[in-house]
């Protein structure tokens, strides 16, 4: 049976990592990692636009440099950006100065694509935090965790992803999904199917909390 417990990020007490959506009651935040990816990110933008949902896209720096036009589409559509490191490395054993250099390089790549854009969130690749939360916070970025990951990187099939989302979402959850790092067509289709189902149950789509 599917369980998200083993893939929740290791969060230390007092680390400042947020995994909660803004608002009370049936609020949920959708977040997408590892893009931009022209094929699936642009399809996902169409889906989110039709359903009038805003999300957070945590961007992989190498992919930003390859596809700056897709970053511009994200911002033009009103979505919020996150820093997801330059090369998607496990940073848990890195020292603060090495982390700082990587996060600055990633943010610089994003801002070359969209000058002046805000980057309010940082998510550590693999949820391997180490010293990254305090460094990210010192650079003005909220460390962003999650409450539900549906392992869409497997991928297990669109119907299974829909089931995991419907059964796994709880009030205030930040949900981890992926628009890059591989073929994410199943994720795009699952999001398209699940949003109307959730809205029919009076769920609201908000952004994650910001504590920085």
List the chain pLDDT tens, one digit each, 212 residues.
343 433 455 454 457 999 999 999 999 999 999 999 999 999 999 999 999 999 999 999 999 999 999 999 999 999 999 999 999 999 999 999 999 999 999 999 999 999 999 999 999 999 999 999 999 999 999 999 999 999 999 999 999 999 999 999 999 999 999 999 999 999 999 999 999 999 999 999 999 999 75
Contact predicate 21/209, CB 8 Å = yes
The DSSP bridge partners found for residue 31 are 56, 176
Give residue 64's pLDDT: 98
In the residue annotation, 40 being an active-site residue is answered as no
Q: Which among 126, 112, 142, 113 is positioned nearest to 134, based on CA atoms?
A: 142
**Catalytic hit among 19, 178, 179, 192:** 178
Contact predicate 55/80, CB 8 Å = yes
In the residue annotation, 67 being an active-site residue is answered as no
**Catalytic hit among 33, 102, 179, 192:** 33
What residues contact 160, with CB distance under 8 A and at least 6 apart?
2
Residue found by looking up tokens 């636009």 in the block:
49
Q: How far apart are CA 100 and CA 180, in angstroms?
A: 24
Q: How far is CA 183 from the centre of its chain?
A: 17
Q: How far apart are CA 115 and CA 138, in angstroms?
A: 21
Q: In CATH, what is the architecture of 29-205?
A: Alpha-Beta Barrel (3.20)
């Amino acid at each position: 049976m599917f369980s998200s417990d083993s893939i929740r990020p290791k969060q230390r007490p007092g680390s400042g990592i947020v995994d909660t959506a803004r608002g009370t009651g049936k609020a949920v935040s959708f977040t997408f990692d590892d893009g931009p990816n022209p094929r699936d990110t642009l399809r996902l933008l169409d889906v989110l636009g039709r359903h009038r949902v805003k999300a957070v896209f945590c961007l992989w720096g190498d992919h930003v440099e390859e596809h700056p036009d897709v970053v511009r589409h994200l911002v033009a559509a009103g979505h919020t950006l996150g820093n997801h490191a330059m090369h998607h490395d496990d940073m848990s054993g890195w020292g603060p100065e090495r982390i700082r250099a990587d996060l600055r390089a990633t943010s610089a790549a994003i801002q070359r694509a969209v000058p002046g854009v805000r980057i309010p969130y940082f998510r550590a690749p693999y949820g391997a935090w180490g010293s990254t939360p305090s460094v990210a916070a010192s650079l003005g970025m909220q460390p962003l965790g999650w409450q539900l990951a549906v392992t869409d990187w497997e991928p297990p099939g669109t119907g299974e992803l829909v089931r995991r989302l419907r059964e796994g979402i709880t009030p205030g959850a930040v949900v981890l999904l992926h628009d890059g790092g591989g073929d994410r067509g199943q994720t795009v289709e699952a999001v398209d199917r699940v949003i109307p189902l959730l809205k029919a149950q009076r769920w609201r789509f908000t952004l994650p909390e910001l504590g920085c």
